[in-house]
Structure 1
Amino acid sequence: MTQLVRDDIRNVAIIAHVDHGKTTLVDQLLKQSGTFRANQQIQNVERIMDSNDLERERGITILAKNTAINYKGVKINIIDTPGHADFGGEVERVLKMADGVLLLVDAAEGTMPQTRFVLRKALSYNLRPLVVINKIDRPDARCVEVLNEVFDLFVELNATDEQLDFMVLYASGREGFAKLSLEEANKDITPLLDAILHYVPKPNGDPNGSLQMQITSLDYNDYVGRIGIGRIFMGSINAGQQVTRIDKDGKQTVHKVVELFTFTGLGRQTTKSASAGDIVAITGIENIDISDTIASLENPQAMPKISIDEPTLSMIFSVNNSPFSGRDGKYVTSRNLRERLYRELRSNVALKVEDTETPDAFRISGRGLLHLSVLIENMRREGYEMQVSKPKVIFKELKGEKAEPIEYVVIDVPKEYEGQVISLLGARKGEMLSMDTDKDITHFEFKVPSRGLIGLRNRILSSTRGEAVMYHNFYDYEPYKGDIAHRIQGVLISMATGEATTYALDGLLDRGIMFVKPSDQVYEGMIVGEHCEQNDITVNVIRAKKATNIRCATAEKGIKLPPPREFSLEMALEYIEDDELVEITPKTFRLRKKLLTENERRVVRRQQTLEPVETSPEKA
C-alpha cells in the first residue's frame, strides 16, 4: 500500500493545564502568521478562539476548536483543546486528529494535575510532543526547574525514548515571542512556527486507498443540519460523493456528501475534494455522530471506536415545581427538558442521560462538577427552568468489593495555613502523597475520594482567606473509604411566601448568615440562610413591623444589614444536602428543600427515627 507523506500540511493539538496560556498563544500564531488582514478589528480581541460566552467569562476553554494558518507554504491545522479534566471527552476525541502536540507549561506554576492528564492522553495516542515553557516573562518564572519537572513527568508516564527526546522552546503568549534558548533576544513567534514545521510529524496515508474518515466533533446549522468534523486517514473524499456511514454499533448506511469544507483562519471554506491528512467538515449525512466512520462504498472499513473515560458524578435534573415555577423560563415542561438533555448527547460524548422512575426527572452523569454546571448554565441561558439535586459519585464493584472514584489533588497554600489544609483533607479521607515548602508557599499532593471534594473548595478558601490554589483530576477507582461528613451547619427555611423585609432580617441576624436581602421574593420551603447551629429551623423573613399611631420616618432607615452570602452555581451545588435542591431559572437560582412544608418534613423525620420494635416469641 502506498503511503504518501504530505509536506504541505501539519496537524498539531495544543494541550496544557487550565490557564497556562493555550488560547492566548493561538491568538499570536493567528496574528503573526498573517492570517488576518491588517484592517480586521479582531486583531485587538484577546482569546479569539474562546467564542463561547461561558469561555470568555470564566477564562477557560470548554469546547475544542479547529483553526488553520499558512506558513512558508504549509498549512498548519491547530486544535485548541480544553485543559480541565471535566472536559476530557473533548480532549480525547480531537487528539485523534493530530500527529503532534504542543505541551504548554507555565514557567512559574510548573506541571499541574491537568498537565499530567492531557499529557497521558497524548502519549497514549503516540503523539510526538513539543514542550513550550510559557509565560517566561513572569517575575517568578523558574524555567530550569520547570523543565526538570516536565522531564520527570514524562518518565513517570512511561514515555518512549522517542517521546523523551522532545524539543523545548521558551515563550510568552501575551508578549508574542518564542525562542529556542533563554539567552536569545525576544523577537516574535516564528521560532515556534519553524519548530512545528520541522518537528511535528507529517501526515501520511494512501490517497488512492479506500476512504476512511472518523468524526470527532459536531456542529449544527439551521440550513444544512448536522455538520461532521474529522480527519481523513485514508483515501480521498469529494463533494457530491456517495459514501458509507458506519456507526458505533457497526450499522452501515449510504449517504451523499452535500458540501465539503476545510478550515482556514477562524472560518471554513468550501472545497471540491480533500485527501488523507486533511481535517474537514462535511454536510448531508443525517444523524451523523461522534466516532462514526465515513468510508467508501466499495470497501467500507470501520475505524476503532473512540474510548471515553466513564462519568464519575451524577445528578437528578427535574421539572421545576416550586411556587415560582414558570415566572422566568421559556421551556418548563418535562418534554422540553428531555429533548434538550438528549440533544446534548449528540456532541457531549462524556455525558450520560438516563430516565428515572418518575417521568419528569432524569439522571445525568458527567466527568465532574464543572462539566455538569456548564451544561446547567448553558440551559439556563437558553431559557430552561429546572431543579437539580446534590451531586453524587458513581460507585463500582471491583473484585466483589465496593469501589469509588479517587481524585489526585494539588494544593498550594501560604505556610501559615498548612494545619487547616491537613485537617480538612484528613476529615475527608484524604491521603497525603507529598508536602514541600518553597519560601512561604507549601505544596501539597493528596489522593482524596471524589465525595470528599464536594464542597471542599469553599471550605479551603474560607479557612485560608481565599489564598489557597487547588486543582484536581481523576486518579483511579479504589476500595470505599468510609463515611465522610459534609456540611456541619443547618439551614434557615422560610415558613411563608412573600417579600423579605428589613425588619424581619434584622431580627434574625443572631440566628445565622442570610442568603437573601430585603425585597427578595421568597416562598415556603426556600432556604434563606445558614443556621449557626447544626439543626434546620423555619423562620419568618417576610414579617413586617406592626403599625402604631407613633410616627417615625427613620425607623427602618437606621437598620444596617450585612450583605447576604452570594453563591456561584458550583458553590450552590456543593452546598446543598440530600434533602435539598437548587432551583434554576434564566434569571436566578435558589436553594430549597425537596419537601416545602414543615409538616411533610416532620413526617419524614419521624419515619426515619422510628425503629421497628422486636418482639420475643415468649411475649408474643
Structure 2
Amino acid sequence: MNIRNIAIIAHVDHGKTTLVDKILHHTNVFRDNQETGELIMDSNDLERERGITIFSKNASVQYKGVKINVIDTPGHADFGGEVERVLKMADGVILLVDAFEGPMPQTRFVLQKALALNLKPIVVINKVDKANCRPDEVHDSVFELFFNLDATEEQLNFPTYYGSGKNGWFNDSLTQSEDITPLIDGILKYVPEPKIAEGTLQLQITSLDYSTFLGRIAVGRIARGSIKENQPVSLMKADGTIKKTRVRELYVFEALGKKKVTEVLAGDICAVVGIEDFGIGDTIADFDEPEALPIIPVDEPTMNMLFSINNSPFFAKDGKFVTSRHLRDRLMKETEKNLALRVLDTDSADSFMVYGRGILHLGVLIETMRREGYELTVGQPQVILKEVDGKKCEPYETLVVDVPQEFASKVIDLVTRRKGEMLIMETKGDMQHLEFEIPSRGLIGLRTQMLTGTAGEAVMAHRFNDYKPWKGPIPGRNNGVLIAKENGTTTGYSIDKLQDRGFFFVDPGEEVYKGMIIGENNKPGDLVVNPNEGKKLTNMRASGTDGATSIAPKTLMTLEECMEYIQHDECIEVTPNNIRMRKTILDEEERKRQQKVMKADSVG
C-alpha cells in the first residue's frame, strides 16, 4: 500500500493543530453531521485551556488511495524532546511559518533537526489574511534560514504554499483556492515514499502510549522487515542488553484512533502491545539475528525544582494523594513517558529533585498532578550548572522579542539588567524585532515584568542555546512580600487598613496561616502583618457608622507566575483547589535565626 509519513513542525502558535484539523475534515475522517469542534488533536484538558500542543500525536488519513500518517508536534521549546523523537518516524516535514512573524527560534531548532535527518521539507506560509502580513519577505527569510543551516541543493529547492488555515485554503500562489486540495496533492507529489532497507525486522520505539487495560504501548515506525501478532522478538535496550519477548497485539493508526491488525509492513507507523520494560530509543528486532538502530539522543534538562510533600497547616484538606510514597510513584511513572524529565531522591525521604526543560515543562507536570488529586510543595526553579574546561558554566538561551517601537527601549533595559546581550535589532512593519543572548536564570520572572512594561504588547520566545561561563548574580524581585502573622480568616476591615502597605493575593474571608505570603510589599524587605483583625464594636461605634470599606480585588497568579515570583527561601503549596505561596520556614523567629546563621557563615 502507498504510504506517506509527514510531521508538521512550527514555532508555537503558528497554526499546526488548525492545519491538522483541516486535513482531517478535508479527507472525510468525520461524518457530515458529526460535531468535532476545533483543535481536535489537542485532546488533553491542559492543551485546550492553554491553546498549546504539549504531546505529539499521530493521526492517519486516506487520500486518493494513499495512506498519509500525520504527526502533530509541540511548538514550545520546553517540549523539544517530543519533536526530536517523532521526526524519526517521518519522511517529510511541513514547515509552517506565520506570514507576519516569519521564522522564530523554535522554527530554526526543529528545522535543523529535520534537515539533519534528510527529510523533504514543504514550506507553508500561513495566516496570509492577517493585517501587516508580508508573505514574500517571509519566504526570503525562510530561504535564508535554510541556507544558514547548510541545507543541500535539493532541500533548498523546497515547494512553497500560501494560505490561511483558519479560513481553510492553501495554494501554491497567493491567489485564494477553494480549499486545501493543492497542499494535500503537494504532500503526495513531494514527500517520498518510505525508504525500506532489505533485511530482518527493525522498529525503533520513538514514542509511547499508555492504556489502563493494555499497559505501556510502544509506538514507532518499522524501518525494515515486518511485524506480526504473537511474533517472538528481541528488545535491544540502550545499555546493550537484549531481552527476548513476544508481541501480543498490533495496532495501526486510522483517522484519530487505532485499528487492530495481524501484520504491519515496513514503512508504516504502528503501536505494539505486550513488550515489557522498554525505553524510548530501544529497538524491536528479529528474534534470532537482532540488529539495533542508532540511539535517539535527547537534549539534557536545563532546570531543576525540589518537589516535597505538603507540610503546611492545611495539609490533606483537599487532596487525595498526600504522602511521599504517592508523590514518588507518580513522578517515577511520569519519567516513563516524559523523556526530558529526570527524578532523583534527596537526603530527605519526603523530597525529590525533579529536572526538566524549563518552567512550562515543569509547570505542566505540576498542574497535571494537582488535577489528579495530588498535594505537594515545590521550591524555586534553579538552573543546572556544569563545569566545562574547569570553568563554572550555565545554560544560555536565545531570546526573541517582537514589540511596538515605543516599548523597544524598555525591553532592552529589562533584558540587559538580567545580563542579556543584544544580537539583532530590526524593524518588521510597525514592530521592532529584537534578539538577545541571555542566561536561562535571567528568563525566570522576566515574562511578567516584560508584559507589565510593554502594556501586554510584547511577544516573547526563547530557545536553549549552549552552556557558557557563569555571568554573576542577577537581581531578583525588587519588592518584599506581606506575610500573615497567625492562622485565621482574613477580614475586610484589616485588609482595608493594610492596603497602603502593598497589594494582596487574598480576599476578605479567606483562610490563611502563619508564614503564608498574602501580598506584595510596596518596598524592599518582607513585612509580617495581621490580616485577621476584626473590628471592635462598642456602643459608641455601631457597625454602620464607618464609611463602607473599598478594597481592591486580589491579584490572581497562575502556577507559572508563582514559580517565577518566589525567591530561594519561599515555596508554593499546590493542592487540587488552591495555589498558595509561603515561606519555607513558617515561624518568624525561626526565620530570623536562620538568617543570622547564614550571615555568620557567609562572613566566616
Shorter-chain TM-score tier:
over 0.9
Match of 1:41 in 2: 35
Instruction: Report how far residue 443 of structure 1 moved.
Output: 1.2
Counterpart selection for 1:126 from 118, 131, 148 = 118
Do the aligned residues in 1 keep the contact of 2:132 with 2:429 (CA within 8 Å)?
A: no
Work out the CA distance in 2 between the residues paired with 1:155 and 1:279.
Answer: 31
Instruction: Report if aligned partners of 1:67, 1:79 keep a CA contact under 8 Å in 2.
Output: yes
Q: Secondary structure at the match of 2:279?
A: coil
Deviation of 1:216 (Å): 1.1
Q: Secondary structure, in 3 states, of the residue corresponding to 2:89? A: coil
CA deviation profile, 1:154-190 (whole Å, cap 9, x unmatched): 11222122211111011211111110111x3321111
Matched, 1:155 2:147: yes
1:294 maps onto 2:284 in alignment: yes
Give, in angstroms, the shift of residue 556 of structure 1: 7.0
Paired residues for 1:5-16 under 5 Å: 8-16=2-10
Number of aligned positions between the proteins: 604
The two structures, once aligned, show a CA RMSD in angstroms of: 1.4
Is the CA contact (8 Å cut-off) linking 1:250 and 1:302 kept in structure 2? no
Query: Out of 275, 289, 304, which is 1:314 matched to?
Result: 304
2:8/2:96 contact within 8 Å kept:
yes
One-letter amino acid of the structure 1 residue matched with residue 151 of structure 2: A
For each residue in 1:286-325, what CA deviation from the matched residue of structure 2 results, as whole angstroms up to 9, or x when unmatched? 2232112111111111111110001001100001000001
1:214-239 per-position Cα deviation (integer Å, ceiling 9, x unaligned)? 11111111221111111000100001
Partner of 2:181: 190
TM-score, with structure 1 as normaliser: 0.96
Deviations 1:86-139 (A, max 9, x none): 001100110000011000001111111111121111112121111000111212
In structure 1, C-alpha distance between the alignment counterparts of 2:249 and 2:220, rounded to whole Å: 14
CA deviation vs aligned residue, 1:583-617 (integer Å, no higher than 9, x gap): 10000110000000001101011112336999xxx
Match of 2:269 among 275, 279, 287: 279
> What aligned pairs does 1:357-396 form with structure 2 within 5 A after superposition?
357-396=347-386
1:599 alignment partner, SS class: helix
Distance 1:612 1:449, change over 3 A: closer
In the alignment, is the contact (CA less than 8 A) between 1:232 and 1:276 conserved in 2?
yes
Distance 1:390 1:555, change over 3 A: farther
Shift of 1:557: 7.1
Q: How does 1:184-583 map to 2 (within 5 A)?
A: 184-206=175-197, 209-550=199-540, 552-554=542-544, 558-583=548-573
Q: Distance in 2 between matches of 1:230 and 1:58?
A: 28
The 3-state SS of whatever aligns with 2:336 is coil
Task: Give the superposition deviation at 1:550.
Answer: 3.6
Q: Distance in 2 between matches of 1:220 and 1:66?
A: 14
User: The residue matched to 1:78 in structure 2 has which SS?
Assistant: strand
Contact 2:573/2:582 (<8 A) preserved: yes
- Using the alignment, how far apart are the partners of 1:343 and 1:452 within structure 2? 31
Q: Could you tell me whether the CA contact under 8 Å between 1:215 and 1:291 is conserved in 2?
A: yes
* In structure 2, distance between residues paired with 1:555 and 1:438: 60
Amino acid at match of 2:30: F
Say whether 1:109 aligns with 2:101: yes
Tell me which residue corresponds to 1:617.
none
Q: CA deviation at 1:427?
A: 0.7
Tell whether the 8 Å contact from 1:204 to 1:277 is kept in structure 2 after alignment.
yes
Tell me the SS of whatever aligns to 1:114. Answer: helix
Tell me the distance in 2 between the aligned counterparts of 1:439 and 1:108: 9
Q: Distance in 2 between matches of 1:185 and 1:343?
A: 48
Task: Tell me: CA distance 1:247–1:306, structure 2 relative to 1, closer, same or farther (3 Å).
Answer: same
Q: Distance in 2 between matches of 1:604 and 1:471?
A: 39
Tell me, which stretches of 5 or more residues in structure 2 are unaligned? none
Read off the aligned partner of 1:188 and give its amino acid letter. Answer: D
Q: Which moved more, 1:506-515 or 1:548-557?
A: 548-557
Determine the C-alpha separation between the residues in 1 that align with 2:15 and 2:509. 43
Q: Does the residue aligned with 2:354 lie in a helix, a strand or coil?
A: strand
Separation in 2, partners of 1:366, 1:452: 17
Please report the TM-score for the alignment, with normalisation by the length of structure 2.
0.98
Query: Aligned AA for 2:155?
Result: Q
